[in-house]
Copies of this chain bind each other. A is one copy, B any other.
Amino acid sequence: MTRTVLESKTKTVVIGFDEPFCVIGERINPTGRKKLAAELEAGNFSTVEKDALEQVACGAMVLDINAGVVYNSNPDPNLTEPPLMTSMVQLVQGLVDVPLCIDSSVPGALKAGLEAAEGRPLLNSVTGEEERLELVLPLVKKYNVPVVAISNDDTGISEDPDVRFEVAKKIVQRAADFGIPAHDIVVDPLVMPIGAMATAGQQVFALVKRLREELGVNTTCGASNISFGLPNRHGINAAFLPMAISAGMTSAIMNPVRQVEMEAIRAANLLMNHDPNGGEWIRFSKVLEAVEGGMTFAEASAAQSSAASGRRGGRRARA
């Protein structure tokens, strides 16, 4: 079975066909978050701290770290991103024990993240573009880490799922030339908005099956793209995720602070027999009860997670 092993200093997370769905928290990313970008430029990391703790409490198993700011004081990301990535990685791994996903389009920032990260982070990302393949695959090999492979290439993003499959296949083959095994490639088949392309859902489900059966790779996606432009997006996302999971999707880069989507994923884990005795579902139901009692999802999740670590601490102390 395909197993993509990620590690922090102390914790191992496996993305795999027989594992619970891997939720990669997307929030630590200043892209499109002006307030966060301004805070980071001012050296203020309080939002990063909050996002790290909150996402893990809500169920993120991996945290994506993106340092994609464009500072007013220095518009060259090749200069500003690498040191910011180092600081963010160090900060986050000091706060939480989950593995990280080092996310950048700037080569220096990828390197800086790989240097700073303890354990075995996920690298995000390579594409089928020649320049990107030549740049990222040597890093993947050198640092012996898994990598997210996005199925677009120098011709852009194809609307034809067969073309996107071929791009993924090319990346897997090129990685093999570098000695990188397929189980260290996590393919993002690209989710199109269903409002713009009526076959977008069926495309993803079919692609995920082929990627799994023919290439033996794990998969990930930006799940919320499916509902772009439509009303009640949470409702669409919450049906899409279980359907994708049942087709074989093994992870998503997403916002774990959204209750509806997390509920759908936890229910899908139970239905896929990836939640022995329903223990996780029953624990999660208590969080939902606290939400009905008036807490936010993040508060209720944090309260339960600190209660659980208190219990664990107690057991350790008695041992």
Contact = CB atoms under 8 A, between A and B. Distances in A.
A271 interface: yes
A283 to B, nearest CB: 10
Nearest to A271: B201
A243 interface: yes
B242 A239 contact: yes
A305 to B, nearest CB: 18
Given A235-B263, A282-B230, A199 B273 contact: yes
A281 interface: yes
B276 A231 contact: no
- Among A205, A231, A242, the most chain B Cβ lie within 10 Å of the Cβ of A242
Given A243-B246, A246-B243, A273-B201, A238 B226 contact: no
Interface in A27-46: none
A157 interface: no
Nearest to A264: B239
A1 interface: no
A235 B288 contact: yes
A5 B211 CA distance: 37
Interface in A231-268: 231-232, 235-236, 238-240, 242-243, 245-247, 263-264, 266-268
A231 B194 contact: no
Contacts of A198: 273, 276-277
Interface SS of chain A: helix
A236 B285 CA distance: 11
A198 to B, nearest CB: 5
- Among A205, A243, A276, the most chain B Cβ lie within 10 Å of the Cβ of A243
A300 to B, nearest CB: 13
Contact of A278 (B194, B239, B245): B194
A270 B236 contact: yes
A205 B267 contact: no
Contacts of A205: 246
B232 A288 contact: yes
8 contacts: A202-B271, A226-B271, A232-B288, A235-B285, A239-B263, A239-B271, A243-B245, A246-B246
